[in-house]
Structure 1
């Protein structure tokens, strides 16, 4: 083995972006490599999220992929060409930072899944706030089959589904069909393949039509309270609601409800 990693084509961007009214779609655009999370792909995706984070006009994000595979996880060719322990550590740390960026992003992120999402690709889906899957989509954490347990995907997976479901996926590597993934809580919606894009767009547009301030505040609070003891979570959430009540959009929304009219959001 050498410390050199295979080069990816720079002719086209690894992540492409489509802008809509109030939301954007980020597309993993390396189908020839099954949209694998190479270091370059993760950097491109992280940079795209950083740009979106500072854009108040963007209130929701769809994460999609070109080709028949959503994401095959880490680029095994790249990993196999690395022999240095520190390089492997940096690669896995980069992946963890990407997943955390999705969680800390102010805007909700919706995975739009067609085809297979395996290993770190399954982790990517689990890290998103919502996930809409085509009926033929499948999910797997098959690292055990190649002697590399899906330990980092396990973190996101075990925070989305029940322990025994997570352990079964991790210990067997068997693919889980979309409807089962829905029953387990890994995805929020399953739709016919032909309806995948319009259904995901409708969900994103609906979220984008809400107060951006309220959604940002709510997403941050959701993840913070999850790790707290019950009493602390209620204290924290009460403080969040108190802060929320002082905002323009809360006053506007309550007034609009009482007056039976549509609210006019300022997203502040």
Structure 2
């Protein structure tokens, strides 16, 4: 039983920190390196984890974990509704389009449609995005009740880059601006090379069930482009939300 619990704990930790190597994982979990290595190999054999290549080996979750999670939360229905709208967004912008959902206080990437351009944003499905430092996260937070925002602030606002918002008053002001605009922006607040705009998808209760985003390398974005993308993503989120509320059973 202990080995099973260790393996599940390793799976959760890899999902939160991917890609990650065995030594770093052992330190983070305060477990013997040999125990972590056994769990990684077991999860790899079962199809839950995959090596990302390079040396030393680093590990990431596979789409098997994502698929099981979708069945548990109803995300397959959400994806079916969202993907056609996301396809249109990609055609309009030729940029990478993401769909993310709130989960356990985090934001998780569940679908990705990639740009045809050679310089692109590449994030794995299952990637956990910081709530206060990503466009998807801020869009969801802005559409959430005040107590959710305050709970997130109380948990602490980690700094990722020089532009990450870590001051509670600034974050509250940013969320108010997002509500006024109808979409959130991220100008390298999580990763300096990643910029994005995102809008929340609202379910039947009026609460956010997902967010959709357009993701652009920071080197390719401009204020004008951000405004154009913001309008497009806000409209896309409204369309997805309308379909969700019409009877997909999500939200």
TM-score, normalized by the shorter chain, greater than 0.5: no
TM tier relative to shorter chain? under 0.3
Report the TM-score when normalising by structure 2.
0.28
Judging by fraction of residues, say which structure has more strand.
2
The higher radius of gyration belongs to 1
